[in-house]
Structure 1
Amino acid sequence: MTLALVCMSHSPLLEVTTPPEEIQKDVDAAFAVARKFVEDFDPELVVSFAPDHYNGFFYELMPPFCVGYEAVGVGDYGSEEGPLNVPTAVAKDLAQAIIDADLDTAISLKMEIDHGAVQPLEVLFGSIAAKPVIPIFINSVAPPFASMRRVRQLGTAVGNYLKTLDKRVLLIGSGGLSHDPPVPQIATATPEQKATLLNGRHPTAAARNERQQRVIETAAAFAKGKANIMDLNPEWDRQLLDILASGELEKLDTWTAAEMAASAGNSAHEVRTWVAAYNALRAAGEYTVTSEYYRPIPEFIAGFGVTTAVVK
Structure 2
Amino acid sequence: MKNRLTVCASHLITLPSAPFGPVREAIGAARDAVTAFDPELVVFFGTDHRRAFRSVVPTFAVVLEATAQGDVAGPVGSYDVPSELGRALVADLVAHEFDIATAYSAALDHAFGHTTRDLLGSIDAKPVLPIFVNCASPPHATFRRAASLGRRVGEFFADRRVLYVGSGGLAHDLPGFREPETGVALTEEERQAWIKDVNERARSEGTIRELVRTWDETFLAGVGGTSWEWLDSIGADLVERGGNGAAECLTWTAAWAAGGQPLRTLAHEFDTSGRAVVIS
Q: Retained in 2: the 8 A contact 1:249–1:279?
A: no
Aligned Cα root-mean-square deviation (Å): 2.4
Cα gap change, 1:79/1:131 in structure 2, threshold over 3 Å: closer, same or farther?
A: same
Pair 1:292 & 2:266 matched: yes
- Aligned counterparts of 1:42 and 1:227: Cα–Cα separation in 2: 48
Return the offset for 1:213. 5.7
Give the TM-score of the pair, scaled to structure 1. Answer: 0.81
Cα gap change, 1:162/1:214 in structure 2, threshold over 3 Å: closer, same or farther?
A: farther
Q: Of 110, 118, 127, which residue of structure 1 is paired with 2:105?
A: 110
Pair 1:302 & 2:276 matched: no
Q: Of 35, 38, 42, which residue of structure 2 is paired with 1:46?
A: 42
- Aligned counterparts of 1:205 and 1:248: Cα–Cα separation in 2: 41
Q: Which ranges in structure 1 are unaligned for 5 or more consecutive residues?
A: 188-193
Counterpart in the other structure of 2:66: 71
- Aligned counterparts of 1:227 and 1:175: Cα–Cα separation in 2: 26
Please give the secondary structure, in 2, of the residue aligned with 1:24. Answer: coil
Cα gap change, 1:89/1:10 in structure 2, threshold over 3 Å: closer, same or farther?
A: same
Return the offset for 1:205. 5.0
Please give the secondary structure, in 2, of the residue aligned with 1:63. Answer: coil
Pair 1:94 & 2:89 matched: yes
Q: Retained in 2: the 8 A contact 1:67–1:137?
A: yes
What percent identity do the matched residue pairs reach?
A: 33
Counterpart in the other structure of 1:123: 118
Pair 1:83 & 2:42 matched: no
Q: Which amino acid aligns with 1:143?
A: P
Please give the secondary structure, in 1, of the residue aligned with 2:183. Answer: helix
Deviates more, 1:23-32 or 1:64-73: 23-32
Tell me which protein shows more helix as a share of its residues. 1
Cα gap change, 1:228/1:186 in structure 2, threshold over 3 Å: closer, same or farther?
A: closer
Q: Which amino acid aligns with 2:241?
A: S
Cα gap change, 1:268/1:94 in structure 2, threshold over 3 Å: closer, same or farther?
A: same
Q: Of 157, 181, 184, which residue of structure 2 is paired with 1:199?
A: 184
Counterpart in the other structure of 1:191: none
Counterpart in the other structure of 2:17: 18
Return the offset for 1:288. 4.2
Counterpart in the other structure of 1:32: 28
Counterpart in the other structure of 2:248: 270
Return the offset for 1:199. 2.6
Give the TM-score of the pair, scaled to structure 2. Answer: 0.90
Return the offset for 1:70. 0.7
Q: Retained in 2: the 8 A contact 1:9–1:175?
A: yes
Q: Retained in 1: the 8 A contact 2:79–2:123?
A: yes
Q: Retained in 2: the 8 A contact 1:77–1:212?
A: no
Cα gap change, 1:25/1:149 in structure 2, threshold over 3 Å: closer, same or farther?
A: closer
Return the offset for 1:43. 0.8
Pair 1:183 & 2:176 matched: yes
Q: Retained in 1: the 8 A contact 2:137–2:177?
A: no
Pair 1:140 & 2:135 matched: yes
Return the offset for 1:227. 7.7
Counterpart in the other structure of 2:228: 249
Please give the secondary structure, in 1, of the residue aligned with 2:5. Answer: strand
- Aligned counterparts of 2:84 and 2:94: Cα–Cα separation in 1: 16
Return the offset for 1:14. 4.9
Aligned residues: 277
Q: Retained in 1: the 8 A contact 2:171–2:245?
A: yes
Pair 1:4 & 2:5 matched: yes
Deviates more, 1:232-241 or 1:100-109: 232-241
Counterpart in the other structure of 1:238: 217
Q: Of 151, 166, 172, which residue of structure 1 is paired with 2:165?
A: 172
Q: Which ranges in structure 2 are unaligned for 5 or more consecutive residues?
A: none
Please give the secondary structure, in 2, of the residue aligned with 1:198. Answer: coil
